[in-house]
A and B are shown apart, each in its own frame.
Chain A
Amino acid sequence: MDFKDSPEQAEFRRTVRQWLQQNARPKNDGAQRKSQGELYEEAKLWYQKVADAGFACLDWPKEYGGAGLSQLHKVIWSQEVSAFAEPDGYFVIGIGNCGPAIMHFASEEQKRDLLPRMASAEDVWCQMFSEPSAGSDVAGLRTSAVKRGDKWIINGQKIWTSGAQHSDYGVVLCRTDTEVSKYRGLTMFFIDMHQPGVEVRPIKQMDGDAHFNEVFFNDAEIPDHQRLGEVGGGWGAALLVLMNERLAISGVQPDGFPEFLQLVKTLRLDGEPISSDPLVKAFLAECYYRHAGVKAASNRMLTAVAKGGMPGAEAALGKLVGAAMNQDIANFALQLMDGAGAVMEPELARQQAHFQKTVLFSPGIRLAGGTDEVMRNIIAEQVLGMPQEPRADKGMAFKDIPSGNQHP
């Protein structure tokens, strides 16, 4: 058991730190929150800069725009970059989810063409799985792909697509056969988001912001060479993507703890620092062991991956714990502020209204990328091997299954 870098890793860390000190912006807690558009432009510039320096997608092969290094190099990079105010995780869904799908299923020519531009964020990618009638039951999706010559004609609607409004390409899961059971009739493709027949509409969320989108397909055409995997093999391909997603987000999932610690260190209540209040300290302790536990669990998982293991469904626990805690911390922080808790003015509210904004945004994180309940099912079934819920749609052809608000 050892947290020390090997000599080679230590050298890499030194190189990274030096480069960041010269090229990354320092953290500035007084900075104003920026608009979506500004953040996006800043993120693109940052990724390009990182790619030019050879630090993009460290664990990808060099010919695909990576550095040909390991997961552990990526961890070292994340640890070092977290000390700076750069949007390093901005394109995590495209790179973390769509990247492996292209890597695994696309032709050599496509990989050499697409992946380097994905790594440098010259092209931005999104992932389109969820639909209005297929959320937790994502295999119940209805967007259809019908073969015509060497093309597929796409019709239907996706929803909750993060970053679709900024994307150049997307990985899309479609139904290609309604006569077989739902898991067997799916096929995966990638699609040009700027082509005719693709329309993106941002969704205004309960917090007033718009991270997620609806995507409509009206006779959008996809050439067959943009199919990822076998016809009817889409479910297996989707599982591969989702497994990589868990690894990509584990350790990135914000849990609200650093911000809360800062609040506890600075807020005073009735003239006394709240850090001397036993109830505040008890809550701080409960949050800290979750925060530290997820971090340590992530290190255990990375150790297993470095030894040649696969990222397991265990990573679901990081999302489950972090998302719920982020919401609970924000709620607790508002209670501590008494009457000032509801004030959302960034100039007045503590830490640029971080906690007020989190109260309104955090419910979405408990739903996105698999709900709390889906995470628990994954842990129970895939990690602990408990039996599946009996399914009412088992053995039925997809066309006969009622779903969402559509009943035959």
Chain B
Amino acid sequence: MNFDFSEEQRTIQEQARTMLAKECPATRVREQLNDDATGDIALWKKMVELGWPAIAIAEEHGGLGLSYLELCVIAEELGRSLAPVPFIASVYLGTELIKLAASADQQAEWLPDLATGETVATVALEHYPLNHRTQELSLIARGDRLNGTVNAVLHGTLANTLIALVQDERQQPALFHVDLNQAGVERKPQKSLDPSLPLAQLCLQDVYGTRLQGEPPLDQSLSTLLDRVAVLLGFEQVGGCEAAIDMAKAYTAGRYAFGRQVASFQAIKHKVADMFVAKELAKSNAYYGAWAMTAGEQELPLAAATARVSAIDAYYLCSKENIQAHGGMGFTWEFDCHLYYRRAQLLSTLIGGNPRWKQRLADSLLMA
């Protein structure tokens, strides 16, 4: 048994951490804290140069052909640094969905541009049909023409490609690939709780799209996609937890009250210990999810739901108690506490919130 990342994977992680510490300080994240932020393009290009979006794309499609484990260690660092880039939208969601649901020919056509960062993809899956097979979808396909409006599309103003869940003429759900740089596409930025990960409304009027022609049933592709994204987000959330814990420790160690370090009070130490425990559980569950993603497909649904629920609880706790540990300063715009709190909230809702994933976890467990 070896339940740890390899030396090579640790090296990739350290390089990512060093790069992000230099290129993505909180000041850089703050530049995105306005309602027309679209994401940090220069930082994204830097990541493209380093090959990060290409990690889990096969070499035959211009990728690096590495495993999800390499992507997981990068995810942890992106979460730690709150990197304001379309990595979640394009790499975890867009690329993975194409890998799961597009035909071999379509993958050969689309994946190379995702590997080079030429394509920035996002997805519109609406309510993330974790348990619900049938529902009204806002986007309607008639032949290869799409119409309708979708909300809360991550990086919807920046992305040039959309993979959308639509209702086809047989009233069946289907996935379509849409070039967003065409006439009939209207984008409106939507106020995001975490503007460093911006949201948008997309209006499609008689827009051309290509149906994804992969063989696996749609439900299965979407289910596996959400499981993979749950694990990858789990690593981002763990990175965020660690940053919040570090902030709480540093601030309370440097501040004195009643003649002693605030960090020496048990009220504070026990709070930070609870943050650490929640984070360690989330981290260990994310590790198991990473293993399941690479070697244990059958265990992935349970492992992914476990990683997700654990990470949502942990990041909520760490980000809110970091504010509390800072006292009044934690409530100011000037201190960075709210950046983690915002990110924790956005990541927790992104692919379906905690109640839904708890049910999914319990269902996997009771079926096993």
**Chain A interfacial positions (CB closer than 8 Å to B):** 1-5, 9, 72, 75, 261, 264-265, 275, 278, 281-282, 284-286, 288-290, 292-297, 299-300, 302-304, 306-307, 314, 317, 320-321, 373, 375-377, 379-381, 383-390
Contact = CB atoms under 8 A, between A and B. Distances in A.
A285 B361 contact: yes
Given A284-B362, A289-B309, A376-B274, A389 B264 contact: yes
B12 to A, nearest CB: 14
Nearest to B2: A2
Contacts of B284: 292-297, 299-300
A390 B365 contact: no
B359 A281 contact: yes
Nearest to B361: A285
Interface residues of B, number: 52
B26 to A, nearest CB: 22
Interface string B286-309: 011011001110000000011001
Contact of B4 (A1, A286, A289): A1
Interface in B6-37: 6
Contacts of B344: none
18 contacts: A1-B2, A2-B2, A3-B1, A5-B1, A282-B362, A284-B366, A289-B306, A289-B361, A293-B281, A293-B284, A293-B306, A303-B2, A303-B3, A303-B4, A314-B280, A373-B270, A386-B249, A386-B272
A1 B294 contact: yes
A266 to B, nearest CB: 11
A3 B2 CA distance: 6
B317 to A, nearest CB: 13
Contacts of A278: 355, 359
Given A286-B309, A289-B281, A303-B4, A2 B361 contact: no
B128 interface: no
B269 A285 contact: no
B1 A289 contact: no
B1 A292 contact: no
A207 to B, nearest CB: 27
A384 B1 contact: no
Interface in B332-362: 355, 357-359, 361-362
B205 interface: no
Nearest to A294: B281
A285 B362 contact: yes
Contact of B291 (A3, A72, A375, A387): A3
A359 to B, nearest CB: 23
The 8 closest A-B pairs by CB, nearest first: A293-B281, A296-B284, A380-B269, A281-B362, A285-B358, A376-B273, A297-B284, A289-B310
B365 A303 contact: no
Contacts of B285: 289, 292-293, 296
B172 interface: no
A293 B280 contact: yes
A306 B284 CA distance: 17
Contacts of B264: 386-390
A302 B253 contact: no
Contacts of A390: 260, 264
Given A1-B5, A72-B1, A264-B366, 18 more contacts: A1-B2, A2-B291, A3-B295, A278-B355, A281-B359, A285-B309, A289-B281, A292-B284, A296-B3, A297-B280, A297-B283, A303-B3, A304-B4, A376-B266, A377-B270, A380-B272, A386-B252, A386-B269
B223 interface: no
A1 B310 contact: no
Nearest to A277: B362
A380 B3 contact: no
Contacts of B365: 261, 284-285, 288
Contacts of B290: 1
A325 to B, nearest CB: 11
A288 B280 contact: no
A385 B361 CA distance: 35
A4 B294 CA distance: 13
B277 interface: yes
A401 B294 CA distance: 58
B69 interface: yes
B72 to A, nearest CB: 9
A107 to B, nearest CB: 36
Nearest to A76: B1
B220 interface: no
B57 to A, nearest CB: 20
Contacts of A282: 355, 358-359, 362
A3 B272 contact: no
A377 to B, nearest CB: 6
Contact of B253 (A295, A296, A387): A387
A320 B1 CA distance: 25
B276 interface: yes
A87 B263 CA distance: 43
Contacts of A384: 245, 249, 272-273, 276
B282 interface: yes
Contacts of A264: 366
A276 B277 CA distance: 30
Contacts of A386: 249, 252-253, 263-264, 268-269, 272
B269 A381 contact: yes
Contacts of B69: 1
B273 A75 contact: no
Interface in B251-272: 252-253, 260-261, 263-266, 268-270, 272
Contacts of B280: 293, 297, 314, 317
A320 B280 CA distance: 13
Contacts of B282: 293
